[in-house]
Amino acid sequence: MSNMCGGNTEELKRRIYDALKDVMDPEIGLNVVDAGFIKNVLVDQEGNVTVEMILTTPFCPLAHIMISQVRRAVEKIPGVKSVDVKIVGFGIPEQLLRRLGYR
């Protein structure tokens, strides 16, 4: 993984969001970005990435799988030095409710 010093963190952030669109929630069949599970992606100048995401419930039986898939998708991107996935809350995202026709 290469160093981001002097690199474009916004471009890297865009590539991270694109890669995360390949990570599917196996229960609902939507990717984690369009479903609204990814709340924020933080990238520093060295290429250290923090992905902040939510889960529908603290008891989600597939949480470890989704976290692992998010981490692996981001680690593969050139310019990423490290990846930290943080769960920042629980609930059903507005994007998911809209996609399912509830709002």
Place of tokens 């902040």: 52
pTM here is 0.87
Q: What is the structure's pLDDT at 6?
A: 42
Q: Give the percent of the chain with pLDDT over 90.
A: 70
DSSP per-residue codes, 48-98: EEEEEEEES-TT-TTHHHHHHHHHHHHHTSTT--EEEEEEEEES--HHHHH
| Average pLDDT score over residue span 12-18 | 98
Q: What is the structure's pLDDT at 103?
A: 65
Q: What is the mean pLDDT of the chain?
A: 90
| Average pLDDT score over residue span 13-40 | 95
